Amino acid sequence: MRAHVVEASEADSARARVAIVTGAGRGIGAKVAAALAARGCDLMLTARTEPEIAGVAQEARRGGRRVAHLAIDLTAPDAVDALMESTLDAFGRLDIVVGCAGMLAASPYLETSDESLQRTINVNLLAPMRLSREAARAMCSRGGGRIIHVASMFAFVSSRQHVAYTACKAGLVGLTKALAVEFAGHGVQVNAIAPGHVRTPMIAQALALPDGERQLARHTPIRRIAEPEEVANVAAYLALDAPSFLTGEVVVLDGGYTCR
Phi-psi region of 222 (alpha: psi -120 to 50; beta: other; left: phi over 0): alpha
* Cα Rg of the chain (Å, integer): 18
Pairwise CA distance, residues 219 & 257, whole Å: 6
Q: What is the dihedral of CA 93, 179, 202, 223, to 10 degrees?
A: -120
- Residues with a known catalytic role: 165
Strand order in the sheet with 4-6: 4-6, 67-71, 42-47, 18-22, 96-99, 145-150, 188-195, 250-253
- Report how far apart the first and last C-alpha atoms of the chain are (Å, whole number): 48
Classify the phi-psi angles of 23: left when phi > 0, otherwise alpha if psi is within -120 to 50, otherwise beta.
left
Beta carbons within 8 Å of 53's beta carbon, 6+ residues apart: 24, 25, 45, 46, 47, 69, 70, 71
Q: How far is CA 225 from CA 157, 254, 255, 256, in A?
A: 17, 8, 8, 11
Calculate the CA 244 to chain-centre distance.
Answer: 20
Segments in the chain forming alpha helices (H): 10-15, 27-38, 50-61, 79-91, 114-121, 127-142, 163-183, 204-208, 212-217, 228-236
